[in-house]
Structure 1
């Protein structure tokens, strides 16, 4: 599933020129632990987290909390630009959710800004957003295999094939016209969101269309003397 289908478009953001006290206020009001930092053209220039805010404040007042920073009369005298992380991992809206999951895992982050080709912020993708894909019900997965693969791709009657799904594990059985059809069915079933395994051992086919045809396809009449 593409990132654009999973991301949150309504994103709380902050300017690099804003104070950390303002960043703390936005985080508390929006109940988030981090804010994408964008410039005047909506381009992503960094990320500031509650950890960044608390670190700066701890340099002046050890053992503070984010809420005490917001409610204090005097905030830290640094801007978001001075505290933010400017090397930010991001993802494109066209990327697959599995690619986003790999980026999160390798970068050890819980969320990814979604940006276009010009680094303009489009949304935010969280781990919870990605997990929704894997939490699809077995019934939803089976229905997509029947309608999306068997009927729309292979143009077959889905009632001729049995599709069983248990905990994301797909079992396919029945007969398809060609060996190529069986391969396409298995491969496309694996690509369905939420599928963790595919067993197609009980799929048979009527014709092996993958074998090479020996000799000419059409007989040729002997050539006469001219």
Structure 2
């Protein structure tokens, strides 16, 4: 893939600050400010990720202060009221943590973020130990890939693999991440697959498929005499 990012390990931040479950509230807020992040992974005594503390987890402390607890401490607010009373990462964190493995494809990581509505994911190994963190901005790095690099990969990994190197050349053009496929092929059944595979190439924004089948041969019987010697109308 010419070194292009395809999995989480390619784009994640390897140097990560994390908290222990006993980290104090003010230390958490201070760390977020110093590192310029809005969420921090929380580790147990063995170093495994057990939760995440975000700015949203800290806000109930201000929202549900002593003056408001009597007015807002209702059944629907139980979780936030509990966090308002918490003073350590263990009580504040959202758990279990939504995590991702280093080898997960970027598209899958993006879907996890969208589905869980989080801005970043701790990256963990099979034992749950923290390896890094991946953010929304990290996943967008793939779209900075050069158009020429994308075009070369589409030709090699999609066109050549599907249609062969000896077939009639098919055109591949890329502009601002948008791939355009042009040309004619006898293997028309493969055209939808070519479009799909081109979309999976890292950095591709969209695919415009203008591939068509071979030209229709002329009707050779037109104007020829029939069996009785008369010309066809």
> What corresponds to 1:166 in structure 2?
175
Shift of 1:188: 2.7
Distance in 2 (CA, whole Å) between partners of 1:30 and 1:158 is: 55
Q: Which runs of 5+ in 2 are unaligned?
A: 1-5, 68-84, 215-233
> What corresponds to 1:190 in structure 2?
199
Equivalent of residue 127 in structure 2, options 118, 122, 129: 118
* Greater per-residue helix proportion: 2
Q: Which runs of 5+ in 1 are unaligned?
A: 63-75, 206-226
Could you say what the CA RMSD is over the residues aligned between the two structures, in angstroms? 3.2
* TM-score, with structure 2 as normaliser: 0.68
Report 1:21-40 matches (<5 A): 21-40=26-45
Distance in 2 (CA, whole Å) between partners of 1:125 and 1:157 is: 42
> What corresponds to 1:87 in structure 2?
96
Distance in 2 (CA, whole Å) between partners of 1:53 and 1:202 is: 54
Aligned residue pairs total 193
Deviation track 1:100-157 (CA, whole Å, cap 9, x = no partner) reads 1111112111111112222222211111111222343433321221344445776627
Distance in 2 (CA, whole Å) between partners of 1:159 and 1:168 is: 25
Distance in 2 (CA, whole Å) between partners of 1:77 and 1:134 is: 41
Distance in 1 (CA, whole Å) between partners of 2:155 and 2:45 is: 48
Equivalent of residue 151 in structure 2, options 130, 133, 142: 142
Does the aligned pair in 1 maintain the 2:123–2:132 contact within 8 Å? yes
Q: Does 1:43 align with 2:48?
A: yes
Distance in 1 (CA, whole Å) between partners of 2:119 and 2:140 is: 12
Distance in 2 (CA, whole Å) between partners of 1:77 and 1:199 is: 53
Distance in 1 (CA, whole Å) between partners of 2:149 and 2:98 is: 32
Distance in 2 (CA, whole Å) between partners of 1:164 and 1:45 is: 46
Q: Does 1:108 align with 2:92?
A: no
* TM-score, with structure 1 as normaliser: 0.70
* Change over 3 Å in CA distance of 1:158–1:25 after alignment to 2: farther
* Change over 3 Å in CA distance of 1:77–1:173 after alignment to 2: closer
